[in-house]
Amino acid sequence: MQIKQSQYRGPESKELTEFVEHALRTSLKRLGSRIRSTVVSLHDLNGLRGGIDQECRITARAAEGPLIVIRERDSRMRTAVGRAVVRLQEAVRRRAGFRLRFAGCKPQEPDSESREIRK
């Protein structure tokens, strides 16, 4: 899987670039064969004015099917990147037909004591 990033001219650009690459590789390592390439664009929409203006846009080219485009905005760039990566992982899994597994939602068989009829 190829990862391309646009230039982010923020104060932590090198660390953020490494964070983005690490987050994508670790979250998509099992699904990497389903994605050919990703393009990550990071933008500060308002400049120094602040607010919820940090945008992360991830465009993923799947091995089969149309492009997947995810956009997230937050006041912190790392938070926007983290949420975008999670959403991308979910979208790729849905396209691939994987069922999402949630912790604690496994069906449990009743134990023998709960089957007894109490009088």
Size of the chain, expressed as the number of residues it contains:
119
Instruction: Give the per-residue pLDDT at 110.
Output: 42
Interatomic CA distance for residues 63 and 78, integer angstroms: 27
CA distances from 46 to 35, 43, 49 (A): 32, 9, 6
Q: How many domains does the chain have?
A: 1
Q: Is 77:15 a contact under the CB 8 Å cutoff?
A: no
Give the CATH number for residue 6: 3.30.160.100
pLDDT band at 52 (very low <50, low <70, confident <90, very high): confident
- Find the domain containing 102 and state its range: 2-115
Average pLDDT over residues 13-36: 85
Cα–Cα nearest to 31, from 91, 72, 84: 91
Instruction: Give the per-residue pLDDT at 107.
Output: 42
Instruction: Give the per-residue pLDDT at 99.
Output: 52
- How crowded is residue 94: how many other Cβ atoms within 10 Å of its Cβ? 12
For residue 58, pLDDT beyond 90: yes
Q: For the segment 78-95, what is each residue's pLDDT rounded down to a tens digit?
A: 999 999 999 999 988 888
For residue 48, pLDDT beyond 50: yes
Interatomic CA distance for residues 69 and 22, integer angstroms: 19
Interatomic CA distance for residues 63 and 37, integer angstroms: 9
The residues, ordered by sequence, that sit 6+ positions from 25 with a Cβ below 8 Å of its Cβ are: 1, 3, 32
pLDDT band at 11 (very low <50, low <70, confident <90, very high): low
